[in-house]
Amino acid sequence: MPNGSLENHLYPSHELKCRLDLVQLVSICSDVAEGMAYLHHYSPMKVVHCDLKPSNILLDDDMTALVTDFGISRLVKVADENVSINDSATYSFGSTDGLLCGSVGYIAPEYGMGKHASPQGDVYSFGVLLLEIVAGRRPTDILIKEGSSLHEWVKNHYPNRLESILEGAIERCAPCATIQGDSSKIWRDVVMELIELGLICTQYNPANRPTMLDVAHEISLLKQYLYSPSNLLIK
């Protein structure tokens, strides 16, 4: 893809020095959330991706995000068509059944206990992605250096010890364009929303996680906030 993967932009090499700003990152997260919501809820055959992470999110010419690499994805059957796809009545099947699916740091904890792949597992991975964008650190780095998951590391800072995370995210990702209103408050609001949504998506109990439809809606509201008349970016 013309603009490479999200991972290339989150951790740019010397050849790619331009980082994505918060407006672009929110737009990318929205694209991914809407794509995952389609796979979980609207696709003729429901699909669980099983390996959602920055390297599997590619960016096209206009920076639209596309979810790729369905090599270990699972098809999902719903035991009762009147039951929500996020309920326990769903089960998955695929060529890699019986294998732990996903990448270290992004795998939902229930997969480690032998649970079938489920939409809730993708929600967990998406939540890790949100927290990674804000923290600016790979979940594997947190695991090695801090001895905890990215979820636990951020949760231990929430809500009273987030200042360093907030400031780091704003320093890395605040757009260069001028903005109407209090730009500092706007960027802090955006980062806090991403943190809180990431923590909700990565709750230990799968039943407590939102659906990707819910997540896509919340991020669409965040986009509306960024582009509201009072906060509109001045090009």
Catalytic site includes residue 51? yes
Q: Are 60 and 66 in contact (CB under 8 A)?
A: yes
Tens of pLDDT, residues 193-232: 999 999 999 999 999 999 999 999 999 999 988 887 566 5
How far is Cα 7 from Cα 16, in angstroms, rounded to an integer?
Answer: 11
- Residue ranges of the chain with per-residue pLDDT less than 50: 79-83, 88-89, 91-98, 233-235
pLDDT of residue 234: 46
| Cα atoms in the 13 Å half-sphere on the side-chain side of 46 | 21
* Domains, the chain: 6-226 (1.10.510.10)
pLDDT of residue 15: 57
The pTM for the full model equals 0.87
pLDDT of residue 147: 93
Which among 21, 31, 51, 69 is annotated as catalytic? 51
Give the contacts of 64 (CB within 8 A, at least 6 positions apart).
31
